[in-house]
Structure 1
């Protein structure tokens, strides 16, 4: 009778939907069960629903929640007919775009009822009245900025405050019927589970909408990102939310009608993001031009103008700060601050590379330059690594270089993902580039996400550390080029600094070079003064660099073929060794005129007979002249220098530099000294690599300068500015450079490289997860140093990740939660937002052997809030053989027919409500909603509507009793219908009872599920549950190969199996 009365009320009051609820409530009926006709604009939503979701939306808990919320907040939202109509059209459009046909749905097996957009809350609202649709708009706004636990807490406060508001104003209602109905609406209870399910569905829906409207959303976020507007100024959660809801609905309704609006607060910007309706924008800070979104549901004249920006005060387009009282069991309300911006939204893993690139840039402390400079430098490094591609030479060396180059520059390598990110930024369009740079800057604010500061190499992957860089350069000229540019960028004076570089050219170990070109002649000051001091030139000439070649008479002296030009016999080598000592080149010594003064002190030097080098066997003169020719060829002046090491300060030297422009004249000048006295300049290292090339500075030998090996000392680092100017790809040894990125840097800085390798593995995994997104804000809330899904110590570990590691990785990137992989050993699927991540074997034919760790993404969710890990029960049940089912037991002899007699078989997910403990790294027991759970889940096999068993599929497929027939010789195959005479007697299994009851005579059974991957998967699982061997056949079996395979089966090592029960089951 009550049902009949309700139906009459619905029929008579179809034009006044709200009154239906009120009347039903007044009659003390369960008005939450009433289903109204959805507005025609929402009809597209109906077509997107699976049976399970439709039932929940029309008769289940979601429908009841929508009805209760609609009745409770009756009269609160403003009338917005045009907005609700446009919203219905937009969500129908998205549902049609994401529609999944029955065949595609069936392909997802046990998840077929959960695949596709979760539009259940939308349909629940559409069939609950216009108030409920407005409530769904509010749910989308809340879910668009707050996380799941925060949203539930906020809903509880809104409901509590709304009930109190009704109770305080009920006496003013003149309509007694309406007053009673409103009062009864306040008596409805809302559980956390109900609100969590409502929020979860709305949250999943807006993620689906974000993906469908990605281009328009990207533009809206990008161009309004600097607005920095608070949603409103109220600090009371109820007042703030209600005001934002009303403002957003009114503004959007006007925009849709073509009435221009000016942004007064952040509410309308939040609504655009949450409701996926995109008016044209006018951002005055970017100029008067209108940014056209061309949304057909918004009239062209409906332009939203943003004329106020507060980038210095806040980050993002919208800021919302609310105190939430129901987040914790006890304590003061928790003030939650949330922003809506480019860097706080969900992004693709490809876009996350930009964030990661920013984290790397953040470790380049002191490197200097703008973010664009750093990006360009990365692009130049990529171009350098790709240099073998430009070579036309075909050689083994080039092929090896190409192989290493592809390994390094691949997006799946730790460095390749960063190089390709930089390259994509440079090659992208304006919107993509600006969005990418915002994400890079987001990463730059959170360097600790990547590694600890002490684990970071010097900037630019250690290449800014001069000794590391110089080890990769081809020649001393490259060293000199970097040092000269470094000296210029630091503003060093050529009078006080000089470069000393090691040559290893015959007996010539090193040389000196100026840091800046010198014009005119120079003079030398005292030992604590200048190296070079320019004198006013007598004639003007172009400034040129100078080099100095060290000359010494100590070793080696020359051995002349004939007597020295000064005459007299040459002393023996023994005599030279006895008398040899350090002597200034060409310095005149007293002695007989007939004896060369230098010979009297250990042997003739090159100075004495510079023009007789052809007769000198020492070769030193020849080497010097070779170097002079080379230096002159580079357009530089070559002069001699006389120096010596200081024993008490091994890194320091004393040097007397030749002057002028002519080598021989300067040589003789060194020999005679400067005005009769020796002038040495004390030099000590300033910057560089003392073993290869370094800048030296004048000064006293007791000066204490930092040690060269300190890799983070700025004196020994090249800045980004210097790199940009001095970087030349052809100066780098390609083999050494690739080896640096393949092994060397990992060995030096594992704490830096290992997290990047892990991110590359995650990126490679996500590349197989279409439309999967990650939470960009995790870099602010977590750190890879805390992650448990990869090892920082095991540098030799190969990726990809194990299955538990893969699920832990996805959980971190998807939700920001970190879990020990020990909790996840038995997980076969996880769900969060609008994604279900499934172990690949769960969705594949059992004959296939996908990578055990491969994960697939199913768009949708299972209706559970937050993050859910699905695990099987420890002992799945199976139906016992029915003795009374003898009528269906035929077990006919198998004659080769390929049939599918299990087409009525289906598999379904059912939650047992058991949730084992799951503690995340950042778990706080004081917070009520943790937002994640291990959920025991049954994978149930049904024969039509009859239950057969529950399965642990992953365990079954990895069982040693499972084997697959591999056909080795295609030419010798027998036809599938041809069974050899020698083949063992085999019985057909055409229903589940025949599998549960083994045949009496035949040793083998053939389960005929040909072409039915789900039936084959179920048959394997049931066979293992029966403790029988499961032999999986290919789609077109060769019975000779099957026979060979059966002969090769080895007895099971598992003592728990009864040998008599191991007759194989062939899965056809």
Structure 2
């Protein structure tokens, strides 16, 4: 039935032709359905039974019908767009990324898993006008937050109703203006479209990314209309018309952001010629749904530096809050609409470590190399099995190094995008890692001479290190000289060493005879009697350390100089990283003669005990431009990344790892913050596809309630406690919402979270009850419960179960167990349903009209075919002290041994078989065995129901397929036999 015939059917009956009479008719929009267009049927086939029911007969269908009727006369005819969009959504729904395993794998949540195309199917079964309403929902969801989009819908509908009540001549539209559309319905309409965008973005990842890159090069406004109704309707109609023509193959030249917003929201990708872009060439997107003739030409991008990147739109929102004037909000379309991955957050965290005033791309890349190399030292330590090689790399360093490695290995275009994240962290997110206004560079402690010299281990390595630095400071061909002052051990006299080899006296006289010319050598002046000389190729002499050997100009004095060099002790004004000595200077040689300097340049001291500040070294390739107050002793030039990478000096790996492991290389608050991020990253690693709300970067992470106030433990330790699941849920809550910070105790009853296109489910609900690892993890699947906002699913307090009356005696056998392993519960299924109990919560009051987060009561029910058996509180049952798990995971005996041993091959009246739900509910008095081999749903349901009915329960490992292995496991087998012999009332789950 098409739309005109529906309209005729609605107004037929009594001959009431005046519009006033028609306006009083209470149409039931849920009774009207149309045959969906052919292109949309692929989507319908992919929806779960429950989603199709809601779309065809539930509130979503009513909302779609009413919105279509309200706006049917205000929008252009876009037949080609409607067809193309149907083909696209069917393609996306059928893609592997849109689904999350088989229905059986998803247990009780199966009806809520998969792409949420509810609003699309509701629109497709409601007519062409409803499909256009869905397209607007996608546009608003792409640009605005859930609360903002719902407010826009609310104001748009109210404005449209007023217009129709005074101007409408269409009976259906007039009737729609009288119908009620609640804010909750509009919120659910937006939520479904918002969830769909996530599904479609993932399925069309490459094409969407390319389109977003083009969009972000332009600063285009959607429109500048001040009235919300006029602005939204204009953007909607304009996008519909232009994209419809593109689908027809008609080229379009536009300068409006509305068209790009439509394309980004509807996942249609025409070829684009972006005038004024970096390439200024046609970007071929090769979308099979758009002919080559449909070329979109974008006008010259705005040169105004005040305009944000991408598409932006300002609207006054009068329905956002309960109290106050309309709030004008400007939003821009950005990549992922304020969401990112944990990898994105790691890049932002790296940027947060840098003070904004000192951030430079070259500087950051050097530190990124340093982070990567520090992590590699732990790998090196374990590879060579040095002392302490069992020490793992700290979680926080692994977290940072993964981000650094990904950036360093990225392609140029990808690296450019990544560096934007880093820069954002440095500029805008100082609160995130508690960066103070006087924070120095990350890992700057490693640049302190006192620290780094400890890592070098021996005096000779330290001298070699300083010589390497000297070679970088002085250019080739220079005749400058530097002197290194050192002590072999504390308390020893001061000794000197040359930084560069110097020529002998003959060489100094420019001896040209090759036979008599000597090679340049390093020289040593030992403070005291000659001791062990590890470098025998060097010339050495003994000096009297009681005398001042050199003087230096007053403008460049040495602060804290060793005793022989004390002279004019004040900080110099220029080139503070070098200390000059007067010339000529005579150095004592091993033969008692003196060697004058072979040049007129001043000699320089390389060893510095105290540096009051760093200064720029612009002549060095990988230097830092730092002016920073630093306490203590510091190396004046931070070559650490280069030294580690090129193996200039062999640092003591074990000492380096020990230093890093203590966490002293970072500020205390920053370290704690990154430790928190490392834990969150480990949790998110278990949940592919999960997103992070980047609003978290505007809050302080280390003070979050989900973290707790104690010491941050490694992830494995942190997650190994009994409350690991609630900790994970609290962590996910904060990162998904960007602001809601709950204590793990607030989520003690939570069994799942629903937001956007994500269901975060306690893994124990989707696993065999013998799987111990499931309790410490949370699993994410595509899907949601079909309601707006952030929902925390909790079970009812007292789950019900079926009662077995006397009339059931004929189906209860309680036969003696014959020793066979079988599945008698193959028709068992579990299903989730929502009750009407829903209670909102808020961590702060913002006066918003929409509930941001709430606890939603949800019931997990067990069915045998279509017959209800019981409702379960699965997590409570699994945590019950009456529920036992065996330590071993199963047998390793040969197939030839399998089934050879059966202690129950003769009829045993002491162990009873349970092969039906009635037999479990009305269980025998003694020991019983529930036979559900290989059926994790049946085993989970039976175990929970048994515990719920206060029966002592033992779950055999899922891998046990015969009695041969339990017989070899004496402890378990003895326990089973003892229970059987003593007629202990225990239930074994097989």
Q: 2:321 aligns with which of 319, 328, 335?
A: 328
- Which residue is 2:764 aligned to? 841
Query: Cα–Cα, structure 1 residues 991 and 1049, in superposed 2: closer, same or farther, change >3 Å?
Result: closer
Residue of structure 2 equivalent to 1:316: 309
Is 1:417 aligned to residue 394 of structure 2?
Answer: no
Residue matched to 1:529: none
Q: 2-side partners of 1:237 and 1:671: how far apart?
A: 88
Verify the 8 A CA contact 1:99 1:116 in the aligned structure 2. Answer: no
2:779 paired with 1:856? yes
1:36 shift after superposition? 0.5
Residue 705 of structure 2, aligned match among 788, 799, 803: 788
Q: Which residue of 2 aligns with 1:828?
A: 751
Tell me how many residue pairs correspond in the alignment: 912
Name the CA distance, whole Å, in 2 between partners of 1:1044 and 1:897.
21
Check 1:696–1:724 CA distance in 2 against 1; reply closer, same or farther (3 A cut): closer
Which residue in the other structure is 1:374 paired with?
364
CA shift for structure 1 position 147: 1.6
> Is the CA contact 1:1028–1:1062 (under 8 Å) kept in the aligned structure 2?
no
The counterpart of 1:819, out of the listed 738, 742, 747, is 742
Whether contact under 8 Å (1:119, 1:205) holds in the other structure is: yes
Alignment CA distance shift 1:782-1:145 (3 Å)? farther
- More deviation, 762-771/128-137: 762-771
Alignment CA distance shift 1:91-1:687 (3 Å): farther
**Superposition map of 1:363-442 within 5 A:** 363=355, 366=358, 370-379=360-369, 382-383=372-373, 386=376, 398-400=384-386, 407-408=392-393, 413-442=395-424
The match for 1:278 is 269
Specify the alignment match of 1:642 in structure 2.
549
Cα deviation, 1:316-340, whole Å, max 9, x if unaligned, reads 3111222212222111223333221
Separation (CA, whole Å) in 2 of partners of 1:811 and 1:719? 44
Cα shift readout 1:58-110 (whole Å, capped 9, x = no counterpart): 01000000001111112222222221111111001001114989981122110
Counterpart for residue 758 of structure 1: 676
CA displacement at 1:909 relative to structure 2: 1.4
Q: Distance in 2 between matches of 1:99 and 1:551?
A: 72
Mapped pair 1:733 → 2:651: yes
Structure 2 SS opposite 1:831: strand
Candidates 278, 288, 291, aligned match of 1:296: 288
Corresponding residue of 1:1032: 955
Report the CA distance between 1:348 and its aligned residue.
3.1
Are 2:152 and 1:154 aligned? yes
* Aligned positions of 1:875-954 closer than 5 A: 875-916=798-839, 918-920=841-843, 923-954=844-875
Q: Structure 1 residue 355 and structure 2 residue 348: aligned?
A: yes
The match for 1:704 is none
Using a 3 Å threshold, how does the CA distance of structure 1 residues 92 and 485 change in structure 2: closer, same or farther? farther
1:494: Cα distance to partner?
Answer: 8.7
Tell me the distance in 2 between the aligned counterparts of 1:783 and 1:642.
55
Q: Deviations over 1:418-457 (max 9, x none)?
A: 2232322333334433332333333333333532124997
Match status 1:619 vs 2:530: yes
The Cα of 1:777 is off from its aligned counterpart by 4.2
Q: Which residue of 1 aligns with 2:942?
A: 1019
Partner residue in 1 for 2:619 = none
1:724 to partner: Cα distance: 6.1
Query: Shift of residue 625 of structure 1?
Result: 10
* Residue 239 (1) aligns with residue 230 (2): yes
- Per the alignment, in what secondary structure is the counterpart of residue 294 of structure 1? coil
Give deviations 1:565-594, integer Å, cap 9, x for gaps: xxxxxxxxxxxxxxxxxxxxxxxxxxxxxx
**Residue of structure 2 aligned with 1:987, choices 901, 909, 912:** 912
Whole-angstrom CA distance in 2 between matches of 1:194 and 1:430? 46
Which stretch of the first structure deviates more once superposed, 62-71 or 500-509?
A: 500-509
- Aligned twin of 1:870: 793
Change (3 A) 1:331 1:649: same
CA shift for structure 1 position 130? 0.7
Deviation at 1:126, TM superposition (A): 0.5
Matches within 5 A, 1:962-981: 962-965=883-886, 966=888, 970=893, 975=900, 979=904
Distance 1:397-1:778 versus aligned 2 partners, 3 A rule:
closer
Answering whether residue 53 of structure 2 is matched by residue 55 of structure 1, we say yes
CA drift at 1:862: 1.0
Change (3 A) 1:289 1:519: farther
Q: How many Å separate the matches in 1 of 2:309 and 2:268? A: 19
How far the C-alpha of 1:156 sits from its partner, in A, is 0.7
Matched, 1:1008 2:915: no
Structure 1's 1046 and 83: CA in aligned 2 closer, same or farther, altered over 3 A?
same
Change in CA separation of 1:838 and 1:478 when aligned onto 2, cut-off 3 Å: farther
In structure 2, C-alpha distance between the alignment counterparts of 1:981 and 1:17, rounded to whole Å: 71
Quickly say closer, same or farther: Cα 1:749–1:426, change in 2 above 3 A: closer
Provide the rounded CA distance (Å) in 1 between the counterparts of 2:71 and 2:748: 45
Instruction: Find the counterpart in structure 1 of residue 62 from structure 2.
Output: 64
Q: Show the 5 A alignment for 1:291-690.
A: 291-306=283-298, 307-310=300-303, 312-342=305-335, 344-360=337-353, 362-363=354-355, 366=358, 370-379=360-369, 382-383=372-373, 386=376, 398-400=384-386, 407-408=392-393, 413-454=395-436, 458-462=440-444, 463-473=446-456, 475-477=461-463, 480=466, 484=470, 500-504=485-489, 507-511=492-496, 618-619=529-530, 629=539, 642=549, 653=563, 654-655=565-566, 659-660=583-584, 663-664=587-588, 689-690=609-610
**For the residues of structure 1 that align with 2:208 and 2:241, how far apart are their CA atoms?**
21
Q: Which sections of structure 1, spanning at least 5 residues, go unmatched?
A: 1-9, 522-536, 557-617, 632-639, 673-680, 698-707, 1053-1059
Is the aligned partner of 1:186 residue 2:169? no
Worse overlay, 109-118 or 242-251: 242-251
Report the CA distance between 1:1064 and its aligned residue.
0.7
Deviates further, 376-385 or 421-430: 376-385
Aligned pairs (5 A) from 1:1028-1067: 1028-1033=951-956, 1034=958, 1035-1038=960-963, 1041=966, 1045=972, 1047-1048=974-975, 1063-1067=985-989
Question: 1:858 and 1:911 mapped to 2: Cα distance?
Answer: 18
SS at match of 2:929: strand
Whole-Å separation in 1 of the counterparts to 2:498 and 2:11: 94
Q: 1:964 to 1:433 in 2, by over 3 A?
A: same
Aligned partner of 2:116 in structure 1 is 118
Which one has the largest radius of gyration?
A: 1
Q: Distance in 1 between matches of 2:34 and 2:632?
A: 72
- 8 Å Cα contact 1:548-1:658 kept in structure 2: no
Aligned to 2:18: none
Q: SS of the counterpart of 2:772? A: coil
Q: Is 1:774 the equivalent of 2:701?
A: no
What RMSD in Å do the two structures reach over aligned CA positions? 4.6
Q: Which residue of 2 aligns with 1:524?
A: none
TM-score (norm 1): 0.76
Distance 1:519 1:930 in 2: 82
Q: Secondary structure at the match of 1:877?
A: coil
- Match of 1:229, SS state, is strand
- CA distance in structure 2 between the partners assigned to 1:963 and 1:833 by the alignment: 37
The alpha-carbon deviation at position 347 of structure 1 amounts to 3.0
SS at match of 1:850: helix
Change beyond 3 A, Cα 1:1016–1:215: same
Give, in whole Å, the separation in 1 of the partners of 2:464 and 2:102: 61
Name the CA shift for 1:160/1:29 in 2 (closer, same or farther; >3 Å): closer
Partners of 1:641 and 1:655 within 8 A in 2: yes
Task: Indicate how the Cα distance of structure 1 residues 165 and 796 shifts in structure 2: closer, same or farther if over 3 A, else same.
Answer: same
The 5 Å alignment of 1:218-233 reads 218-233=209-224
Three-state SS of the structure 2 residue aligned to 1:472 is helix
TM-fit CA distance, 1:894: 1.4
How far off is 1:732 after superposition? 5.1
Q: Which shifted more, 724-733 or 935-944?
A: 724-733
